Amino acid sequence: MTSTAPLTTGDLTAGAPVHSLAGSGEWWRDAVIYQVYPRSFADGNGDGIGDLPGVTAKLDHLKQLGVDAVWLSPFYRSPQKDAGYDVADYRDIDPLFGTLADFDEMLAGAHERGLKIIVDLVPNHSSDQHVWFQEALTAAPGSAARERYMFRDGRGPAGSDVPNNWQSIFGGPAWTRLAPSEDDGPLGPQWYLHLFDSTQPDLNWENPEVREEFEAVLRFWLDRGVDGFRVDVAHGMIKAPGLPDWEGQVAMVEGTVEESTDKATDPGAPEDGSTGAGHHGPMFDQDGVHEIYRAWHRVLAEYDGDRCLVAEAWVEPLSRLARYVRPDEMNQAFNFSFLTAPWDAARLRTVVGASLSTMDAVGAPTTWVLSNHDVVRHVSRLGLADIGSGPLNGIGANDPQPDLELGTRRARAATLLMLGLPGSAYMYQGEELGLPDHTTLPDDVREDPSFFRTGGAEPGRDGCRVPLPWVGGAPGNGFGATGKTWLPQPDVYAELAADKQYGVEGSTYEMYRTALELRRAEKIGAGVLSWVDALTDSPDVVAFRVAGVVVLANLGAAPLPLPAGTDVLVASGDLATSADAVAVPADTTVWLRA
């Protein structure tokens, strides 16, 4: 059936359930979780950088929006070489963001409003300013201090060659050599591994001391009352024995590029909608990571049984990702196969169906996400001419620029499709306002290390991290009292500011709020998906039923007429109406009662 054919009520009949696992009580199974990137959310002290008091001040915005939980990106003590993902002290708040007392106030305010709080944990690496690494710098090769990290002798007669050929995800070699010292061994100064920036040395997770320390860190925050942890680079802590050479190159978020790409090496990809976003190679997705998460699962079980672990694991095929959420490991894993899927009906149906059935097999909920602090916002991504292979890791001023009108229309449709899926959904701050990336940021204001380590070849992620606009036209669009913003905002943020959208029919904010209210009332997150039989082979339409709601997304060029008398609950855009018919235009999603 094509999208130009008129639908009848019978055409909206759903078939057999795709999966059988509905929500079973734990809050995270059907929660909508809102990501706060603290330095860009709201500024409480006027220094131009967002902070925890700023988060506290905006909790009512989140409550009124209708989300269930908040995930905070890192706020720990840090030299901020990678925006806080270089942690110097896992048990304290960086002064940029406030104090532990500010954290406790924010946590209490969230809980008073019925909001859960998930905090970021960065276990693959620490900052080079961490007390452990500073101790290692003055210790001898083979010492207990160096065994906490990945120190190795260099290759070659004088140890002057890198220990292996691995490349940093941020560009350049993944090894840095220490300065000469009187304690050096016969091969001279050792090298240390850093899969990211040279200021982010990788920890040695084969060392029991490292494991004990992080279990203690978990308990520190659990004792303060946090509701869970999002685990950064969850697939990266264990490396293959011997650290063998590898000819591949892992990009920041686009996935893996290998010299010889062979689909046979990833047999699940064609069937499950995988898009090449999975990181492979000897530094990722090693079986040993699962032992770590089984231990963490036991730590969380010591509390009230209501705390969760969320994996940021760029792993494909989906059958590999499902290993992270087996019953005795983590509770959720980000679905990057969905995030990277192109705006194509067949591909979306494939990845949705495979995601549900694969996670169902291990008893886990599926999570859905379209934007975060590491990727181009979906308003900008879906506005590119080539949306199937467009960049994820930043758009620069000299790159092809997105069509904001097209991107907004598609992004709203994609969002409404996502929120209609069973399971848990993640939102990135500001997407409820329809914010695009700042795609013309001047190079001299950029801070992302990937920009510098690649000599500007990669624009980096600053464009999606621009401070939010709260009051359109005010200094800094109301980000803080002084008008300062650590990154400049694009002009369009003034008209997209929160105060310009509250209560405005048809605004992106009101679409999100309405959809979240309906999602909760209809128990969509805890529902079971069935495809609409008449549209399962359509090249242009994605249509399914969850609970009592039919979700229909028209990705084609022609409007799709709806049956007479159809009750439209919410739409991502204006519908085409005539005297006797209502039609769903191109790049539009509707929720129907039919």
CA distances 271 to 16, 21, 217, 319, 320, Å, are: 20, 21, 40, 11, 14
Residues 431 and 477 in one domain: yes
Sign, Cα dihedral of 367, 371, 373, 375: positive
Does the bond joining 186 to the residue before it have cis omega, within 30 degrees of 0? no
Which residues partner with 524 through β-bridges? none
CATH of the domain at 324: 3.20.20.80
Q: Provide the domain limits for residue 353.
A: 25-125+208-236+274-513
Domain end marker among 513, 536, 555: 513
Q: Which of 68, 232, 316, 458 is catalytic?
A: 232
Whose structure tokens read 């061994």? 185
581 part of a folded domain: yes
3-state helix, strand, coil in the chain (%, to 5): 30, 15, 55
CATH of the domain at 582: 2.60.40
Q: CA 593 to CA 433: how far, in whole Å?
A: 26
Decide: 310 and 333 in contact? Cβ < 8 Å: yes
**What is the pLDDT, as a whole number, of residue 260?**
31
Both tokens of residue 474? Answer: 């005010």
Whose structure tokens read 């995270």? 28
**What is the pLDDT, as a whole number, of residue 19?**
76
In the residue annotation, 312 being an active-site residue is answered as yes
Q: CA 530 to CA 522: how far, in whole Å?
A: 15
Contacts of 528 (CB under 8 A, 6+ apart): 17, 18, 19, 20, 21, 22, 422, 546
Residues 540 and 415 in one domain: no
**What is the pLDDT, as a whole number, of residue 258?**
34
Amino acid present at 71: W
177 part of a folded domain: no
201 part of a folded domain: no
Which residues partner with 554 through β-bridges? 541, 588
Domain end marker among 513, 548, 581: 513
Whether this model's pTM surpasses 0.85: yes
Amino acid present at 126: S
Decide: 52 and 38 in contact? Cβ < 8 Å: yes
467 part of a folded domain: yes
Q: Which of 312, 432, 522, 540 is catalytic?
A: 312
Decide: 594 and 12 in contact? Cβ < 8 Å: yes
165 part of a folded domain: no
CA distances 43 to 113, 230, 477, 509, Å, are: 21, 23, 11, 21
Residues 449 and 582 in one domain: no
Residues 459 and 577 in one domain: no
Q: CA 558 to CA 5: how far, in whole Å?
A: 10
Q: CA 297 to CA 591: how far, in whole Å?
A: 37
Residues 34 and 60 in one domain: yes
- The full length of the chain comes to 594
Residues 359 and 478 in one domain: yes
CA distances 111 to 77, 334, 365, 591, Å, are: 24, 24, 24, 31
Residues 476 and 540 in one domain: no
The 8-class DSSP code of residue 192 comes to: E
Q: CA 510 to CA 503: how far, in whole Å?
A: 7
Decide: 469 and 477 in contact? Cβ < 8 Å: yes
Both tokens of residue 332? Answer: 């959720």
327 part of a folded domain: yes
Residues 406 and 551 in one domain: no
Element of type H or E holding 64: helix 59-65
The 8-class DSSP code of residue 149 comes to: B
Closest alpha carbon to 487 in 15, 29, 37: 37
Closest alpha carbon to 522 in 514, 534, 533, 512: 514
423 part of a folded domain: yes
Domain end marker among 513, 547, 573: 513
Report CA Rg, the chain: 24
Element of type H or E holding 271: helix 269-272
Closest alpha carbon to 516 in 426, 584, 435: 426
Residues 537 and 509 in one domain: no
Give the chain's domain count.
2
Q: Tens of pLDDT along the chain (594 residues)?
A: 444 567 887 788 878 888 766 656 899 999 999 999 999 999 999 999 999 999 999 999 999 999 999 999 999 999 999 999 999 999 999 999 999 999 999 999 999 999 999 999 999 999 999 999 999 999 999 999 999 999 999 999 999 999 999 999 988 999 999 999 888 888 999 999 999 999 999 999 999 999 999 999 999 999 999 999 999 999 999 999 999 999 987 765 544 333 333 333 333 444 666 655 555 799 999 999 999 999 999 999 999 889 999 999 999 899 999 999 999 999 999 999 999 999 999 999 999 999 999 999 999 999 999 999 999 999 999 999 876 555 688 999 999 999 999 999 999 999 999 999 999 999 999 999 999 999 999 999 999 888 888 888 889 899 999 999 999 999 999 999 999 999 999 999 999 999 999 999 999 999 999 999 999 999 999 999 999 988 888 999 999 999 999 999 999 999 999 988 889 999 999 998 876 789 999 999 999 997
Q: CA 117 to CA 229: how far, in whole Å?
A: 9
Phi, psi values for residue 586, rounded to 5°: -60, 145
Residues 569 and 478 in one domain: no
The runs of H, that is alpha helices, within 225-288 are 269-272
175 part of a folded domain: no
**What is the pLDDT, as a whole number, of residue 581?**
81
Residues 287 and 331 in one domain: yes
Residues 315 and 446 in one domain: yes
> Quick count: other Cβ atoms within 10 Å of Cβ 170?
24
Phi, psi values for residue 36, rounded to 5°: -105, 120
Q: CA 158 to CA 258: how far, in whole Å?
A: 31
